[in-house]
């Protein structure tokens, strides 16, 4: 019994069938391009009948207009020169007018004398390939645009392998870490910054689980030898379950942002402290006026009554006590006024300061001048109150400590900023030593705080024996 054969059964195909039903189009044409033979595959591709092409059209007439120009200027001369062309991309025009992307190979046949007699064309439909190439080109453009964005980003955008080795490095990383890509790529992350307390294993565990990790921390950059605050995000690239291939990290320098936030918080604390101080001053001013002031007035009136009825030998004594009571009443009223200057309720800061300087000069006997320059509009109430308090504290210091005979106060208000200058010809002092005193030194600490509250700066110029000048400069905000 014969054993079954393992040889495959191959169906019989004629050469004509192979030609007609080939997976690509075949065209045979004369040297001028006139078509003399075409297979069924090409006819189906472009939607034409055989008798519409053979003997009636030239190959170049099957092409779109740009394709015809390319055929005449490049394709045909190349065939004549080399005898063949390979994988030329062009578009054939279908019967409905739509283009058919194609790749064309061609070979030229010659007679014994070397004269061309026939050109054979092989046409591959390339619609899907053209779409793939277009998608690939678009993807490449997007990748290039993304790479450009990464490169110009102000943030450090880097990638690491799972061992912590740097593999990519952008210009933002150069700015933050102070290293070029050639200096950073290939190094471990902990060779670039102080990461002794950083738990890299825990980070890897989170990343391998597919979770991104964000953090804010202080970091000492070795190349810059200084600490900075950064926010960092680590994102895993996982190609198979649990297989971490890359770590992408975005690192932002937030040192200035954090400093600004701390300054804002400090300012809010200062505002709260000053607000409580003002409230306490107002309460004490009311108590002084309502209680001590009234009692002092009562004592003065009682003494006046006693003077009228007292014997002559006591009258002089009672009159002296009455004068002291009257002075005490004036001092209480002045103290209450200074603790709660109601003038800002009815006057702008220039008039309020002018009034205060005049009263201060009258009370202390020190020659004092006030000048105002610039924009007359009312300032923001917070600015006016703090300017008034700084001037008040400065003049109080002068009367107590300076031994001055002359004082000048200048307020200048511009469209964007303002200056308050207070100058005396007193004995002067060392601002550095007094500002470091535990007691704040003549209230200088409070004056600096009030300047900060309105976004300004306080500067003091003074040396022993030459007088003192206080400069407060601040942005101007109007009511």
Query: pLDDT tens, position by position, for the chain (479 residues)?
Result: 455 566 777 777 888 999 999 999 999 999 999 999 999 999 999 999 999 999 999 999 999 999 999 999 999 999 999 999 999 999 999 999 999 999 999 999 999 999 999 999 999 999 999 899 889 999 999 988 888 888 889 999 999 999 999 999 999 999 999 999 999 999 998 888 888 888 888 888 888 888 899 998 888 888 888 888 999 999 999 887 778 899 999 999 998 888 888 888 877 777 777 677 666 666 676 666 566 666 767 777 777 777 777 777 777 777 777 777 777 766 666 666 666 566 666 788 999 899 889 989 998 899 999 999 999 999 998 899 899 989 989 998 999 889 999 999 999 999 999 999 999 999 988 876 655 443 444 578 888 988 988 889 999 999 888 899 999 999 999 98
Terminal C-alpha separation, the chain: 116
Half-sphere exposure of 235 (CA within 13 A, CB side): 7
Alpha helix positions (H), 291-419 = 294-309, 312-339, 343-346, 349-364, 381-397
Question: Distance between CA 104 and CA 123 in Å, rounded?
Answer: 5
**Alpha-carbon distances of 4 from 7, 8, 9, 158, rounded to whole Å:** 9, 11, 12, 66
How far apart CA 441 and CA 463 sit, in angstroms, is 15
State the pLDDT at residue 291. 61
Q: What is the DSSP letter of 191?
A: G
Pairing of β 116-125 and β 25-29? antiparallel
Spell out the residues 6+ positions from residue 204 whose beta carbon is closer than 8 angstroms to its own.
162, 244
> 215 has which bridge partners?
232
Burial class (CB in 10 A: 0-12, 13-18, 19+), 446: middle
If phi over 0 gives left and psi between -120 and 50 gives alpha, with beta otherwise, what is residue 428?
A: left
Tokens representing residue 34 in the block: 């006139």
What pLDDT sits at residue 282? 64
Residue for token pair 């003494």: 303
pTM above 0.85, yes or no: no
The pLDDT value given to residue 439: 40
State the CB neighbour count (10 A cutoff) for residue 131. 11
Contact status, residue 398 vs residue 426, Cβ threshold 8 Å: yes
Which whole-number Å values give the CA distances from 378 to 20, 347, 393, 415, 477, in the listed order?
Answer: 96, 9, 22, 12, 9
d(CA 315, CA 42): 138
| R_g of the chain, CA atoms, integer Å | 47
Helix (H) or strand (E) holding 286: helix 255-287
Quick one: pLDDT at residue 437? 43
């Amino acid at each position: 019994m014969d054993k079954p054969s393992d040889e495959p059964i191959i169906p019989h195909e004629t050469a004509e069938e192979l030609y007609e039903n080939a997976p690509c189009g075949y065209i045979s044409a004369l040297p001028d391009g006139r078509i003399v033979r075409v297979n069924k595959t090409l006819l189906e591709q472009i939607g034409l009948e055989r008798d519409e092409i053979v003997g009636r059209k030239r190959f170049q007439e099957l092409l779109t207009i740009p394709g015809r120009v390319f055929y005449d200027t490049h394709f045909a001369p190349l065939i004549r020169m080399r005898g063949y062309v390979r994988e030329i991309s062009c578009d054939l025009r279908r019967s409905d007018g739509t283009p058919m992307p194609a790749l064309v190979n061609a070979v030229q046949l010659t007679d014994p004398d070397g004269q061309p007699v026939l050109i054979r064309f092989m046409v591959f439909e390339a619609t899907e390939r053209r779409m793939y190439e277009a998608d690939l080109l678009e993807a490449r453009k997007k990748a290039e645009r993304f790479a450009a964005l990464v490169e110009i980003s102000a943030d450090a955008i880097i990638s690491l392998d799972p061992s912590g080795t740097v593999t990519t490095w952008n210009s933002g990383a150069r700015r933050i870490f102070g290293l070029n890509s050639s200096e950073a790529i290939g190094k471990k992350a902990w060779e670039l910054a102080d990461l002794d307390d950083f738990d890299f294993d825990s980070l890897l565990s989170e990343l391998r689980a597919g979770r991104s990790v964000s953090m804010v921390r202080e970091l000492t950059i070795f190349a810059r030898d200084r600490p900075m605050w950064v926010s960092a995000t680590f994102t895993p690239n996982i190609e198979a379950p649990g297989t971490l291939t890359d770590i992408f990290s975005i690192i932002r320098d937030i040192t200035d942002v954090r400093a600004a936030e701390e300054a804002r918080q400090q300012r809010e604390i200062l505002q709260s402290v000053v607000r409580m101080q003002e409230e306490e001053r107002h309460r004490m001013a009311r108590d002084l006026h309502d209680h001590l002031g009234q009692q002092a007035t009562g004592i003065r009136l009682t003494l006046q009554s006693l003077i009228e009825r007292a014997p002559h030998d006591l009258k002089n004594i009672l009159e002296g006590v009455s004068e002291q009571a009257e002075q005490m009443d004036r001092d209480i009223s002045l103290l209450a006024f200074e603790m709660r200057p109601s003038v800002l309720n009815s006057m702008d800061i220039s008039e309020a300061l002018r009034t205060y300087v005049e009263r201060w000069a009258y009370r202390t006997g020190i020659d004092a001048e006030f000048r105002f320059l610039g924009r007359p509009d009312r300032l923001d109430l917070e600015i006016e109150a703090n300017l008034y308090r700084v001037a008040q504290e400065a003049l109080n210091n002068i009367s107590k400590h300076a031994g001055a005979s002359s004082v000048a106060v200048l307020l200048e208000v511009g469209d964007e900023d303002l200056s308050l200058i207070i100058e005396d010809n007193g004995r002067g002092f060392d601002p550095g030593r007094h500002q470091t005193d535990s007691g704040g030194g003549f209230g200088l600490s409070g004056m600096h705080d009030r300047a900060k509250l309105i976004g300004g700066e306080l500067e003091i110029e003074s040396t022993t024996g030459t007088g003192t000048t206080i400069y407060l400069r601040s942005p101007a905000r109007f009511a």
